[in-house]
Structure 1
Amino acid sequence: MCKDWLDKKYLKNRRARVLKPVFSFLLVLTSWFTMGQVTSSIDSTSIKIGEQITYQIKVESGPEDLVLFPEGQSFKPLEMIESYAVDTIKKDANFELIKKYGLTQFDSGTYFIPKQKIVVGSKSYFTDSLKVEVNNIQIDTTKQGLYDIKPLIEVKKPSSNWLQTLLIILAVIVVLGALAYWFFFRKKPLTEEEKIALLPPYDRAKLALKKLEESPYLENSEYKQYYSELTLAIRNYLDEKVYDHALESTTDELINRLRLLKDGNQIDLSAETIKNLESILKRADLVKFAKSEPDKELAKLDRQTVDLEIDHVKEALPEPSEEEKLMDEQYKLEQERKLKRKKQWTLAGAIGAFIVLIFVGFGLKYGFSYVKDKLFQNSHLELMEGEWVDSAYGVPPVYISTPEVLKRIDKDTDDSIMTKTTTFTYGSVEDLGVSVSTTVNQNQGQQPQGMQPQQGQQTPSNPEIDLNAAGEKIMKGFEDKGATNILTKQDKYTTPNGAEGLNVHGTFNVSGKEMNYSLFLFVAENNSVLQQILITWPQNQEYAEKIANRVIGSIELKKPE
């Protein structure tokens, strides 16, 4: 019994020793096959700054597998400058897919291309990370001369589309001038009514009677219209030459007035003329208001009588004196001046209406506040819409976009501290302002302002930068410039490319203005460089706030290693 048990135990151990190498071989083979589906390689492991390397990913897949390659900037710290199309090679029943990328780096050093994720069907695979050496370009200083940095020069911003703007303005002026000439200054031909209105009162009355004689009123038995125009002709003449209320007076009032003028020797009218006019005016009243129909021949005789009596009235009028002639001339000049002023006011009103119409049209399309600021040349709006400058400032560089180029200011602090601050600025803290500063510790055994050693340690060769102390120094600078009511908040901040720092922001008052500020603090170069970006802008000013937000959104730094 014991012997049988020992035999079984021996056979079992022997079987295990035989199968174990088989299982190990199968596991290795399976692993090799799986990893063999995705491979990666580069054409060079050592390049110069800015030189391109080709990164290749090779995938073996079935005809029904969906393969997803990396997209975007997933190769950092190297930069992808080009993504090539996928090459497909058919191998038996499967496919071999080859995807290539062009990569580069502009700083020297040793870099690793990170693992890349490739999805094949429902499975995910990762490539190996690859090492790349980026070398500096060696310069032979014995053959290449070194020169000082050239001084700053003023560069005028090119005026954009000035010719098009000028042509539009000239076209508008020409159109307005043509309209003004056509409607206000052009000598227009007179109409028939205007020609008649310019005739003297006597000629106008005679012309009216002549037209009445040629009219078909009597043939059509239109006596009311006939006598209306007949009395209007005589009343108009009397109104202008004898009695200035002749048109609105009744027949009795007009005749009584003529008799009073005759009795006062103001006009030498005969009693027969007055009687004839009274008879005709009363007969006209009967026709107009009582629907009387006189004989046709009597109506013709009345027109002839009025024609004759107008001559008598003209003869009875006294000759105007020199004073009256002068008054008439002054009256004429005054009328001309009134007409000229009327044209000027009409022209001004038309131009004003045209401008208002343009303002309303642009206001409805772009907003009235924008049009107003554009019209009155809001300085912040002009900066916002101008040509912005994308540049790098300081070493290591701070990449930032600003409406104007920042001007450089170098500061050497106390020699015992051995620090150097390079500042690039635009504007001031009393208005829209941007400042980029880089403080470099030129003596690693010393510590620049804003830099403190770690507690319990001696001063290190690379002291730790105290961002809070640096921020307090900036706040002290605000106070030195007269700022009051300084409110401060602090938050951690990370730039779009991953550089971490501190954001100190808030408000303050200076020179009667309420201002916003945002200060960004970063460390670089193994804690030996302090980088500061300060933006200030007035509160409650739309375009200044938009400019500040755009500047803040553009900040990028080299991510610390």
Structure 2
Amino acid sequence: MQIKRVHFKVNAILPFVKGILALCFFLFSLVGFSQQKPTIATEVDTTYIRIGEQIHWKVSVDVDSTDQVIFPEGQTFSPLETVEAFATDTTRKKDRLTLQKIYALTQFDSGAYKLPAQRIDINGIGYFTDSMMINVETVPVDTVAQKMYDIKPFINVDKVPTERWKYILIGLVVLLLLGGIFYWFFIRKKPLTQEEKEALLPPYDRALLELKRLENSKYLIQDEYKQYYSELTTIVRSYLEEDVNVSALESTTGQLIEKLELLSDSGELELEKDTIDQFKNILQTADLVKFAKSKPSTSTAEQDRKLVEQIVVKTHDALPEPTEEELLQQEEYKEELSRRKQKKKLIIGLSSLAGLLILAILIVGLKMGFTQLKDTVFGHPTKELLEGDWISSSYGYPPIMLETPKVLVRNEVKLPPEAKANIQEIQAFSYRSPESLFTVGTTSITMNQEAQAAFDQTIEQIIEGFEKQGAKNIITKQEEFTTISGVKGIKVYGSGDFAVPDSKELVKGKYTVLLFGGNGFQQNVIITWLDDDMYAQEMVDRILTSVEVKTDV
């Protein structure tokens, strides 16, 4: 009985055990599959190229479909230069992915170059590819068929800054616009209005025209006799004042008639007594209408206008003909009036133009600063560098990557015999502004032995170099410097009195030196600029934030 009981228990547990074993086997297979390591393979289409030709470096990564892969970016293949990074090609096979990426690389100097190992991040873990050697040869030249010539020296070309031309062009357009406005409103002879044309008529013709206009008016229809007689007497008085040269507008009726009688008696104005009496009666009627509110008949008012017209005609006929000298004086007088009027318009126009320019200068100066406005209009060497097209490039080996306003030019450095025992090669690049103290340079030094860079000795040599160039009163400060990617180095900076190129004059300037290095190499960046040059300070800040170094030799 006891044996059967045990056998029953084993048979009851056996299916449960088999289920657990099957589940464990399934989980083990999943774990084993998920832990399969990624594979990386690289290849190049050739290891031998001529200067300027390209090689295609291909990297293939086989990973799980859920893995995250990050390929190299930027100039990470130095000393080879990256020409183009092609798009990643993806191939899926079940739950595995094969990623392929091709890079086009080149080099413009002959020699044997090491294509460094590249880091590929997979799920945050770095995997490194194999390094390989690439041979770059010069292009063969047939020296028999083709003559060889010496290399021509560099020719300095004064490049006119495009920014200055842009502002000059804008200034010319503004001046032309203001000049056009000035001409249109102040110099151009405008078409005369009807009133101006009438004002230029002789007094006699103008008086007849105004009397004709008064005849066609509606004053009498609207019982506006006061206005009618006021205009009537004003027309005749103005005519007498201009043509007869008597002060008629300011004279009373009696005074005006007395002046006309005196002129008639003296023979200066051949006017009959009846005409003067008629004129006296019309003036008296006008006085009664204006001051005593008298109201003559409409026919009387119309008759008075006709009589005034006859008086104007008779007065004009009674005037002696002007002599040639009087006519000449009148013409000169008119020309003088015209010149005065034109001069007044010119003064007003120039004053307005000057006021607009001063106002524009004040507004722009307050907005952007008067110093910057002056530098924008008249030009400033470092401002033009700051606002120009900057260049981001890699220099030397180990490479120094930075952004500069102009490309740095390679400097030929000849090692003295005593230095060749320790230094394998020095690669130096620099740019110097011809119009200011601004300079920027890089130096990459490789040693013959795996030794740590002697930063203290390098700093002393740089300061001695400043002094040999004429610098004095050099102040030195030192602190740690870290690039954006986290590479640590040393920053040496300060000020001093620096010598101006091709001159014995000393100017107040600043300098900054960055030093990086490791076993067997050292990298330096040197910048100098004027102390009070705000544009140069902006350039220095921009350069320092762009500095990156590759410390893997």
Q: Describe the shift of the 1:237–1:475 C-alpha distance in structure 2 as closer, same or farther (beyond 3 A).
A: farther
In the TM superposition, residue 54 of structure 1 has moved relative to its aligned partner by 1.9
Q: Deviations over 1:47-85 (max 9, x none)?
A: 74854132313216xxxxxx3403364899669935625
2:74 is aligned with 1:81? no
1:520 matched residue in structure 2: 514
2:64 matched residue in structure 1: 59
In structure 2, what residue type is equivalent to 1:41? I
Contact 1:421/1:438, CA 8 A, preserved across alignment: yes
SS at structure 2 position matched to 1:41: strand
Counterpart pick for 1:502 among 484, 487, 490: 490
2:265 is aligned with 1:287? no
SS at structure 2 position matched to 1:302: helix
SS at structure 2 position matched to 1:137: strand
In the TM superposition, residue 104 of structure 1 has moved relative to its aligned partner by 8.0
In the TM superposition, residue 536 of structure 1 has moved relative to its aligned partner by 1.8
In the TM superposition, residue 198 of structure 1 has moved relative to its aligned partner by 1.9
Contact 1:518/1:536, CA 8 A, preserved across alignment: no
Q: Describe the shift of the 1:213–1:141 C-alpha distance in structure 2 as closer, same or farther (beyond 3 A).
A: closer
In the TM superposition, residue 441 of structure 1 has moved relative to its aligned partner by 8.2
TM-score with structure 1 length normalisation?
0.68
CA distance, structure 2, for counterparts of residue 540 and residue 162 of structure 1: 18
2:316 matched residue in structure 1: 314
CA distance, structure 2, for counterparts of residue 140 and residue 270 of structure 1: 120
Contact 2:289/2:295, CA 8 A, preserved across alignment: yes
Q: Describe the shift of the 1:389–1:284 C-alpha distance in structure 2 as closer, same or farther (beyond 3 A).
A: same
Q: Describe the shift of the 1:323–1:198 C-alpha distance in structure 2 as closer, same or farther (beyond 3 A).
A: same
In the TM superposition, residue 488 of structure 1 has moved relative to its aligned partner by 3.3
2:96 matched residue in structure 1: 96
CA distance, structure 2, for counterparts of residue 268 and residue 143 of structure 1: 115
In the TM superposition, residue 260 of structure 1 has moved relative to its aligned partner by 6.7
Q: Describe the shift of the 1:34–1:116 C-alpha distance in structure 2 as closer, same or farther (beyond 3 A).
A: farther
2:537 is aligned with 1:545? yes
In structure 2, what residue type is equivalent to 1:133? S
SS at structure 2 position matched to 1:52: strand
Contact 1:46/1:135, CA 8 A, preserved across alignment: no
Contact 1:53/1:102, CA 8 A, preserved across alignment: yes
Q: Describe the shift of the 1:74–1:192 C-alpha distance in structure 2 as closer, same or farther (beyond 3 A).
A: closer
CA distance, structure 2, for counterparts of residue 171 and residue 306 of structure 1: 59
SS at structure 2 position matched to 1:136: strand
Listed as ranges, the matches of 1:326-337 within 5 Å are 326-337=328-339
Contact 2:452/2:517, CA 8 A, preserved across alignment: no
Contact 1:42/1:55, CA 8 A, preserved across alignment: yes
2:69 matched residue in structure 1: 70
Judge which range, 376-385 or 31-40, deviates more: 31-40
Contact 2:45/2:56, CA 8 A, preserved across alignment: no
SS at structure 2 position matched to 1:333: helix
2:456 is aligned with 1:468? yes
Q: Describe the shift of the 1:435–1:547 C-alpha distance in structure 2 as closer, same or farther (beyond 3 A).
A: closer
In structure 1, what residue type is equivalent to 2:64? V
CA distance, structure 2, for counterparts of residue 278 and residue 155 of structure 1: 92
Q: Identity of paired residues, percent? A: 33
Q: Deviations over 1:153-204 (max 9, x none)?
A: 5578699799999999999899888877776677665443233222111111
CA distance, structure 2, for counterparts of residue 474 and residue 250 of structure 1: 102
Judge which range, 346-355 or 465-474, deviates more: 346-355
2:146 is aligned with 1:134? no
2:109 matched residue in structure 1: none
The gaps in structure 2 that reach 5 residues or longer are 1-20, 49-54, 107-111, 499-504
Contact 2:471/2:497, CA 8 A, preserved across alignment: yes
In the TM superposition, residue 250 of structure 1 has moved relative to its aligned partner by 4.5
In the TM superposition, residue 439 of structure 1 has moved relative to its aligned partner by 7.4
CA distance, structure 2, for counterparts of residue 342 and residue 475 of structure 1: 67
1:41 matched residue in structure 2: 40
TM-score with structure 2 length normalisation?
0.69
In structure 1, what residue type is equivalent to 2:135? I
Q: Deviations over 1:284-329 (max 9, x none)?
A: 2332343221122322332233223323433454554555433322
1:385 matched residue in structure 2: 387
CA distance, structure 1, for counterparts of residue 523 and residue 150 of structure 2: 25
2:305 matched residue in structure 1: 303
Q: Describe the shift of the 1:185–1:316 C-alpha distance in structure 2 as closer, same or farther (beyond 3 A).
A: same
Q: Deviations over 1:449-496 (max 9, x none)?
A: xxxxxxxxxxxx666543334334444554566656644332222444
Q: Describe the shift of the 1:427–1:370 C-alpha distance in structure 2 as closer, same or farther (beyond 3 A).
A: closer
Q: Deviations over 1:513-556 (max 9, x none)?
A: 654432223447814x5634224244362x33333333333334
In the TM superposition, residue 279 of structure 1 has moved relative to its aligned partner by 3.5
CA distance, structure 2, for counterparts of residue 215 and residue 110 of structure 1: 105
Q: Describe the shift of the 1:536–1:280 C-alpha distance in structure 2 as closer, same or farther (beyond 3 A).
A: same
In the TM superposition, residue 227 of structure 1 has moved relative to its aligned partner by 0.9
2:436 matched residue in structure 1: 431
CA distance, structure 1, for counterparts of residue 477 and residue 416 of structure 2: 30
Q: Describe the shift of the 1:482–1:365 C-alpha distance in structure 2 as closer, same or farther (beyond 3 A).
A: same
CA distance, structure 2, for counterparts of residue 525 and residue 249 of structure 1: 113
2:248 matched residue in structure 1: 246
Judge which range, 33-42 or 96-105, deviates more: 96-105
In the TM superposition, residue 132 of structure 1 has moved relative to its aligned partner by 0.6
Contact 1:499/1:560, CA 8 A, preserved across alignment: no
Contact 1:111/1:133, CA 8 A, preserved across alignment: yes
CA distance, structure 2, for counterparts of residue 304 and residue 45 of structure 1: 116
Contact 2:398/2:550, CA 8 A, preserved across alignment: yes
Q: How many pairs are equivalent? A: 500
Q: Describe the shift of the 1:174–1:478 C-alpha distance in structure 2 as closer, same or farther (beyond 3 A).
A: closer
CA distance, structure 1, for counterparts of residue 236 and residue 33 of structure 2: 122
Q: Deviations over 1:113-165 (max 9, x none)?
A: 5574438xxxxxx58x4551311226499999899877545578699799999
In structure 2, what residue type is equivalent to 1:134? M
Contact 1:495/1:555, CA 8 A, preserved across alignment: yes
In structure 2, what residue type is equivalent to 1:56? V
Q: Describe the shift of the 1:130–1:301 C-alpha distance in structure 2 as closer, same or farther (beyond 3 A).
A: closer
CA distance, structure 1, for counterparts of residue 45 and residue 183 of structure 2: 79
Q: Describe the shift of the 1:227–1:181 C-alpha distance in structure 2 as closer, same or farther (beyond 3 A).
A: same
SS at structure 2 position matched to 1:404: coil
Structural RMSD (CA): 5.2
Contact 2:397/2:444, CA 8 A, preserved across alignment: no
